Structure 1
Amino acid sequence: MTEPAPHVRPYVGLRPYRRDEDILFFGRDREAREVATLWQAAGLTVLYGASGIGKTSLLHAGVLPRLDPERADVLPVARVAPRLNGPQTAGNPYVMALLSSWAPERDPRGMSGMTISEFLDSRPERTDRYGDPVPILAAIDQAEEMFHGSPVLEGERVVFLDQVARAVREHTGLHVLLSLREEYLFLVLPYERPIGQGSRTRFHLRALSPDSALEAVRGPLRHSGRTITPAAAELLVEDLRTAVIVDESGHTSSFTLDTVEPVQLQVVCSALWESLPPDVREITEDHARLYANVEEFLFEFFKRTVADVADEHARPAAEIRFWLRNTFITEHGTRNAVYEGLEQTQGMPNTVARALENRHLLRAEHRRGIRWYELAHDRLIAPISRSDSSESYLRAARISLAKRNWESARRLADAAIRAADPGETWVRAEAAEIFADVAAANGEIEVARRYYEEAAEIFAERQRFDGVARALTADGLLWLAQGDSARAIERISAALNWAPNDMSAQVALAEALLKSGTPRAAATVITGVLALLPPHLLQQAQKMLRESA
């Protein structure tokens, strides 16, 4: 029996398929043949579909291998995003990006200032065996970059699009394929006629049918040394097609979807492949049940994706997960759509929403000039609906506090309470502290005091003396900010009765004594603890010591 080849990874995961991976690319045979035919027949072919639907993979591993190099002059697939951070060359940045994609071996400086038509004129003409010119096939992937971007480059984009249309007019054998997200299709419409020169077509790439999804599961294994039984493959696909909805009352229902998202299939199949013991030759239904927990795989994909975006944008991961859960899932457990504002989408920066779209958690579309977001697929509802731990919510709330993002801190603290078990009263205490800090920042002093009092009482019941001291000290500082030094000293002294070694309370007491007009008493307190103070309190204490002299 053939040994599994450990170096062969039949599933590519989240990245697109490459040109040399066509032997692993399955489930898109019909689409690949149709796009290849349309591209060779029409002046302009627009390939469009949702983010993560597999346009790049289809183009590289499905369409290109079906083109006969003897009957077509196929240029390398291009990207036209300006390289703003790389070496700068003279000329239109979009044109230079296109020409550099078509001729990666050439020094870009040698093409500086060259137009698209001039570049095509400089190439030797290809002919077939009968001596007739063969068509030139030019594909631009992620072609939405041609139509929108920095307003600073608007003039360069217009010139670039004019050059594309001129190149098609002057080179009758040039056939252009634009691959882009469907929400940007409306931007292409004004240019379809000049670029297509009366010969244009569109192809809408959709999610995989169940039969195609089965082929995408089975086919890549042909060169891996492993096989999968029909029952195991069907189990994987059926799990991916099953969406579970839980409404606010806790009622659970499920339904079967008509299609399978390619990105989710790759996530699950890649994770299954990595989970299998090395001696497995045939993947059975038992293996699929044991090692392919679709719900867990999608949940891990969700958490990992959010963690990456959180790191990139310096936001707490729990805050983003909370935002996704409460913004895009309705009280009935179904998908919700929200629109993008000028800078934020339902309280989250637009840059975060777009990053999540790029990673296939969200899907966007334009409706009457407004960009709307929703979850990329119903199958993501259940994984995203799973609550974080109360600890993670509290950590995220404290980070939001430090960044003075008061509303986010309040929401996350409230989520911590709802995620806590009934016996975890300490969560309520720590959340009450956060509510108090938010209220104080918003000038709601009486509200803040009530929350500090609540926190102190719960911490006392649980014998969390550090928590009691923290809440009483914060309350004392509120009184001090209002000019009542006596009440401040009373509250902070009470805090030190609970936790005599609390350095924050010691420094707060010294501050209250200093402002009450008793500098010697303040100096005595500071002198007694100066050697024990951590760095973040030491500078404040030294300043008060100088003031009390």
Structure 2
Amino acid sequence: MQEPNPHVHPYVGLRPYRREESALFYGREREAQEVATLWQATGLTVLYGASGVGKTSLLHAGVLPLLDPERTDVLPVARIGSHLAPSESGGNPYVVALLSSWDPELGPARLATLTISEYLRLRPEHTDLYGDPVPTLAAIDQAEEIFHGSPRLEKERKAFLEQLATAVRTHPGLHVLLSLREEYLFLVLPYERPIGQGSRARFHLHPLTPEKAREAIRKPLGHTRRTITPAAADLLIDELRTVNFVNELGETSTIQLDTVEPIQLQVVCSALWASLPEEVTEITEDHARLYAQVEEFLFEFYKHTISDVALEHRVPANEIRFWMRNVFITEHGTRNAVYEGLRTTQGMPNEVVRALEDRHLLRAEQRLGIRWYELTHDRLIGPVSRSDSPESSLREARLALEEQNYEGASRLADAAVRAADAGASWVRAEAAEIFASVAAARGEILTARRYCEEAAGIFAERQRFDGVARALTTDGLLWLAQGDPTRAIERISAALNWAPNDVAARIALAEALLKSGTPKAADAVINGLPSDLAQQTWKKLRDPT
């Protein structure tokens, strides 16, 4: 029996298992054995399943360790997308990507000159103890990257698949495994026969059963100083299988699903492990109840994933969360499916949507040639349904305004209003300020002015004098932009009656006075500012560029 290692982290969290972590990989023994057998016996094996179901983990930590190095010649698992890039030396980019995964030491110039068959012929032959050649096993993980690339590479993509089929035909010992998301399976069908050369198989990887989920929780702990009681493991599984639905009347119904999503299991177990006090050696049901806040763990996973995507694609995180909540959850509290447009999906850029799919928040399905998205699992309905705080949404809305993302600013301000308590009228007032700025940027002056009036009225009721001054100043600048400095002076002067020391209002008044032909009056207003600010203001007003 292996000695416990105090430094071992038994759960991997969001990332897939690696080859060297096979000792921690449990719950997939049957699937790993079946895939290993199929791969060695057929020309083409297609391993497919939903996003986040554990295909990469199964391949690396489950299947590869079962392959006898004395009886198989296993090439490194390839990823086309991670190596796909235009080559200055020419060559088919898909072929170059595959060969560079197999042989990173070969330079781009050499890779560009080789076909798949030529590369395989150059490799030394591997034989068994009796001198007979052993099968060559080649796997391409996340093979959907081959099929949903740029349309400009369609010719190269077809040539690559033809080369792969030729390689299997001319090298009888070559066995190919393609691992991909199930929604792309239909794209592989035309190539199954030529690549498999009449010898082909498919394996559908499903989520974990409760029994296998228990193994995935309990057995990795055998490499640590901790154990977990059956009751504690069952509690975690039941939490992950339980989904609450809330309809538009506020009525809640609960159902228990038959399976557990591997990625959610890893998220929860990894977070529980990190939360336990150092002195805990047996994880009991009480520990699970106290530290395994499943809903909170999933919500943190959801938030961090959204934040990563937001940062990567420069879209406000609150805007993505608002979009997720309103697009993928129905008024009955169930999952909703929407189709992908040419450039956007329900207003969100498609590259953002695909990034959310890559990170296992969304799953895609092809229906009659159209790509549809939905949440990966009902268990995510709760975390996605949570509203962001009004303060957070307003903050993100102002940042969107600064970046001239007017559509996003408007959506986020609307999200703030929806999330606010009934008595929080200040949220509506600040949102109205944002709506006014958006309308003004779009040239909808009357709409902008109406929002300014609304904001000023609410701020006045709440005795938020700074807010009243901001709204009236914005209204005055709208009049000024329309060429009416007299009305502008009237509105901005009213703003200063509410907040006499408001710097923005003073600068706006100086600008209106200057444009009305009364520079001395403007000078008097500016001279009332601190000297440095007065100089900057004069420079800005006299030389706007």
Deviations 1:109-138 (A, max 9, x none): 544412211221122222223333221111
Is the 1:192–1:200 Cα contact (8 Å) retained in structure 2?
yes
- Residue 95 of structure 1 aligns to a residue in which SS? helix
Is the 2:92–2:160 Cα contact (8 Å) retained in structure 1?
yes
Q: Aligned residue for 1:120? A: 120
Q: Aligned residue for 2:156? A: 156
* Cα pair distance change 1:157/1:3, threshold 3 Å: closer
Which whole-Å CA distance do the structure 2 matches of 1:507 and 1:460 have between them?
Answer: 22
1:97-176 → structure 2 map (5 Å cutoff): 97-107=97-107, 109-176=109-176
Is the 2:476–2:491 Cα contact (8 Å) retained in structure 1?
yes
Q: Aligned residue for 2:54? A: 54
Q: Aligned residue for 1:18? A: 18
1:26-41 → structure 2 map (5 Å cutoff): 26-41=26-41
Give the C-alpha shift of residue 149 in structure 1.
Answer: 1.1
Is the 1:430–1:455 Cα contact (8 Å) retained in structure 2?
yes
Give the C-alpha shift of residue 250 in structure 1.
Answer: 1.9
Q: Aligned residue for 2:83? A: 83
Is the 1:503–1:533 Cα contact (8 Å) retained in structure 2?
no
Give the C-alpha shift of residue 108 in structure 1.
Answer: 5.2
Q: Aligned residue for 2:539? A: 542
Q: Aligned residue for 2:359? A: 359
Give the C-alpha shift of residue 249 in structure 1.
Answer: 2.5
Give the C-alpha shift of residue 92 in structure 1.
Answer: 2.4
Give the C-alpha shift of residue 28 in structure 1.
Answer: 0.7
Which whole-Å CA distance do the structure 2 matches of 1:206 and 1:189 have between them?
Answer: 20
1:224 aligns with 2:224: yes
Deviations 1:239-273 (A, max 9, x none): 00001112233222211111111110000000000
Give the C-alpha shift of residue 4 in structure 1.
Answer: 6.2
Q: Aligned residue for 2:325? A: 325
Give the C-alpha shift of residue 45 in structure 1.
Answer: 0.4
What amino acid sits opposite 2:539 in the alignment? Q
Which whole-Å CA distance do the structure 2 matches of 1:319 and 1:460 have between them?
Answer: 29
Is the 1:138–1:174 Cα contact (8 Å) retained in structure 2?
yes
Which whole-Å CA distance do the structure 2 matches of 1:252 and 1:193 have between them?
Answer: 50
Give the C-alpha shift of residue 485 in structure 1.
Answer: 2.1
* Cα pair distance change 1:242/1:437, threshold 3 Å: same
Which whole-Å CA distance do the structure 1 matches of 2:543 and 2:233 have between them?
Answer: 76
* Cα pair distance change 1:267/1:82, threshold 3 Å: closer
Give the C-alpha shift of residue 85 in structure 1.
Answer: 6.2
Q: Aligned residue for 1:297? A: 297
Which whole-Å CA distance do the structure 1 matches of 2:150 and 2:345 have between them?
Answer: 20
Q: Aligned residue for 2:339? A: 339
Give the C-alpha shift of residue 53 in structure 1.
Answer: 1.0
Which whole-Å CA distance do the structure 1 matches of 2:285 and 2:20 have between them?
Answer: 31
1:430-449 → structure 2 map (5 Å cutoff): 430-449=430-449
Q: Aligned residue for 1:457? A: 457
Which whole-Å CA distance do the structure 1 matches of 2:123 and 2:484 have between them?
Answer: 84
Give the TM-score of the pair, scaled to structure 1.
Answer: 0.94
1:474 aligns with 2:471: no
* Cα pair distance change 1:443/1:110, threshold 3 Å: closer
Give the C-alpha shift of residue 215 in structure 1.
Answer: 1.0
Is the 2:416–2:427 Cα contact (8 Å) retained in structure 1?
yes
Shifted more, 93-102 versus 198-207: the winner is 93-102
Q: Aligned residue for 1:383? A: 383
- Residue 78 of structure 2 aligns to a residue in which SS? coil
What amino acid sits opposite 2:181 in the alignment? R
Is the 1:473–1:505 Cα contact (8 Å) retained in structure 2?
yes
Which whole-Å CA distance do the structure 2 matches of 1:258 and 1:429 have between them?
Answer: 47
- Residue 529 of structure 1 aligns to a residue in which SS? coil
Is the 1:92–1:113 Cα contact (8 Å) retained in structure 2?
no
* Structure 2: gaps of 5 or more residues: none
Deviations 1:287-326 (A, max 9, x none): 1001101000000000111011111111111111100000
Which whole-Å CA distance do the structure 2 matches of 1:24 and 1:442 have between them?
Answer: 57
Is the 2:48–2:205 Cα contact (8 Å) retained in structure 1?
yes
Which whole-Å CA distance do the structure 2 matches of 1:82 and 1:359 have between them?
Answer: 16
Percent of paired sites with the same residue: 73
- Residue 528 of structure 2 aligns to a residue in which SS? helix
Is the 1:72–1:137 Cα contact (8 Å) retained in structure 2?
yes
Which whole-Å CA distance do the structure 2 matches of 1:546 and 1:350 have between them?
Answer: 42
Q: Aligned residue for 1:251? A: 251
Which whole-Å CA distance do the structure 2 matches of 1:532 and 1:388 have between them?
Answer: 40
Which whole-Å CA distance do the structure 2 matches of 1:337 and 1:541 have between them?
Answer: 56
Is the 1:240–1:260 Cα contact (8 Å) retained in structure 2?
yes
Deviations 1:492-547 (A, max 9, x none): 0011112222121111111211222222222332333262539xxx7564143469
Shifted more, 92-101 versus 55-64: the winner is 92-101
Shifted more, 91-100 versus 492-501: the winner is 91-100
Which whole-Å CA distance do the structure 1 matches of 2:296 and 2:269 have between them?
Answer: 13
* Cα pair distance change 1:219/1:105, threshold 3 Å: farther
RMSD value, Cα: 2.1
1:429 aligns with 2:429: yes
* Cα pair distance change 1:61/1:496, threshold 3 Å: same
Is the 1:268–1:297 Cα contact (8 Å) retained in structure 2?
yes
Which whole-Å CA distance do the structure 1 matches of 2:180 and 2:86 have between them?
Answer: 24
Deviations 1:147-181 (A, max 9, x none): 23123333322222111111111111111100111
How many equivalent residue pairs? 543
* Cα pair distance change 1:38/1:310, threshold 3 Å: same
What amino acid sits opposite 1:236 in the alignment? L
Deviations 1:194-243 (A, max 9, x none): 10001111111111111111111111111112111100001001100001
Give the C-alpha shift of residue 54 in structure 1.
Answer: 0.7
* Cα pair distance change 1:428/1:28, threshold 3 Å: same
What amino acid sits opposite 2:541 in the alignment? M
Q: Aligned residue for 1:182? A: 182
Which whole-Å CA distance do the structure 2 matches of 1:3 and 1:124 have between them?
Answer: 40
Give the C-alpha shift of residue 86 in structure 1.
Answer: 9.3
* Cα pair distance change 1:224/1:303, threshold 3 Å: same
* Cα pair distance change 1:415/1:249, threshold 3 Å: farther
Give the C-alpha shift of residue 464 in structure 1.
Answer: 2.1
Is the 2:338–2:372 Cα contact (8 Å) retained in structure 1?
yes
- Residue 488 of structure 2 aligns to a residue in which SS? helix
Which whole-Å CA distance do the structure 2 matches of 1:212 and 1:546 have between them?
Answer: 72
What amino acid sits opposite 2:134 in the alignment? V
Is the 1:3–1:281 Cα contact (8 Å) retained in structure 2?
no
Q: Aligned residue for 1:288? A: 288
Q: Aligned residue for 1:215? A: 215
Which whole-Å CA distance do the structure 2 matches of 1:67 and 1:84 have between them?
Answer: 28
Is the 1:39–1:177 Cα contact (8 Å) retained in structure 2?
yes
Give the C-alpha shift of residue 454 in structure 1.
Answer: 2.3
Give the C-alpha shift of residue 431 in structure 1.
Answer: 1.3
Is the 2:3–2:223 Cα contact (8 Å) retained in structure 1?
no
Deviations 1:394-427 (A, max 9, x none): 1122223233333432332222122122332221
Q: Aligned residue for 1:349? A: 349
Q: Aligned residue for 2:233? A: 233
Is the 1:473–1:495 Cα contact (8 Å) retained in structure 2?
yes
Is the 1:480–1:488 Cα contact (8 Å) retained in structure 2?
yes
Which whole-Å CA distance do the structure 1 matches of 2:444 and 2:152 have between them?
Answer: 44
Shifted more, 524-533 versus 121-130: the winner is 524-533
1:45 aligns with 2:49: no
Give the TM-score of the pair, scaled to structure 2.
Answer: 0.95
Give the C-alpha shift of residue 88 in structure 1.
Answer: 5.1
* Cα pair distance change 1:85/1:96, threshold 3 Å: closer
- Residue 48 of structure 2 aligns to a residue in which SS? strand
Give the C-alpha shift of residue 143 in structure 1.
Answer: 1.1
- Residue 542 of structure 1 aligns to a residue in which SS? helix
